[in-house]
Structure formats: structure tokens, C-alpha cells
Amino acid sequence: MSCDVVTFWMYGWSLRDLLPLNWPVLFGGFLVTAVYFVAASLVFPDDPEEWSDLNAHFDKHHRKVLGGILLANAALLVTVGVLAMWPPFDLRNIVVTWSFFPVALLGIRARDRRITMACLAWLILLYPVSAVWPAKAPAVAASAPPPRADPAPRGGTAEDAPRIGSGAHR
């Protein structure tokens, strides 16, 4: 779960120049954060004494947790596809990016815990695989605007940053 949140914010950071600073974008980010928060809050029981069997807790909540992660990743992929371009169907992206969705769905739908655990193992394995299997430099879609400089360069002051509602948006 933590690695997935970090990956989401890595993408967010790389897309920051393509995202306008407006209410829908910020509220969308809030919604994804809320989905992650709810999913993460279900990973472990609030009161371990109420759940003497952690397997029962897992069985009750793993579909919601995986569903939240799946929803957040679908939102991310759609955002990347709209703002930059869809990840290509080369071997690396099929393994690292595209395999996430059917494996997560299988983990949600499976009734056999061994299948669910295998799906979780695959999803976790994707993080070190993506770290050691370098991606090709992404091409930016022709319709994407060129990156802009930060409104407040490092070392700048708060007065250098654009004001909300001033029309000076990223």
C-alpha cells in the first residue's frame, strides 16, 4: 500500500506542469487521497483484541483494500492518458503497468485465499521489478503544453507565488 501511494505521488509530481491549479484538480487529488486513506485504514484492525484471527480480518476487508487501490490506479492511468499519453504496450509496460489491473481484479474476485495471496505477491513484486527494469523516456503527446517553470523559483518567497483566483495558474 505504501509503495502504491509513493508511486501515485511520483506520477503526480511528474505531471505537475500539465495539471492546472484549480478546484476540480485539487478535489480529484483529495478524492484519491481519501480512497487510499480508507483502504489503508482497513489493512489492520483498529482493535486487535476484537480480531483474534487476522485471517478473518483479511478475508473480510481485502476486497475493499484492493478495490481502493485499483480505483486509485485507474484514476491515475486515466489522468496520465489524458494529460500526457497512454503507456505503450511494450513488454515492460505490459508487465509493470498493464498487468496490475487484471491481477488486482483477480485478487478481488478470487474465493481461494491462495490465489489472492499470489495476486498480492505479484502486485508487490511489481515495485522492485519497475525499479530494476528501466523505462524508456516517455514521449509527451503532441497536444500537451510544454512544461512551465515553477512560479516560485527555489529560494523565492511566498510573494513570488501566484495567488489563488488571480488567474496565474499552472
* Whole-structure pTM value: 0.70
Q: Residue 75, Cα to own-chain centre: how many angstroms? A: 8
Q: What is the dihedral of CA 106, 72, 136, 87, to 10 degrees?
A: 70
The label of the residue with cell 508511486 reads 7
* 9 against 137, higher pLDDT: 9
Q: What is the pLDDT of residues 25-77, one digit of tens each?
A: 889 989 999 998 999 888 888 887 777 888 888 889 999 999 999 999 999 88
Question: pLDDT for 100-159, tens place per residue?
Answer: 999 999 999 999 999 999 999 999 999 889 889 887 765 554 555 555 444 444 444 434
- Residue 145 has what pLDDT? 52
Cα separation, 97 vs 99, whole angstroms: 6
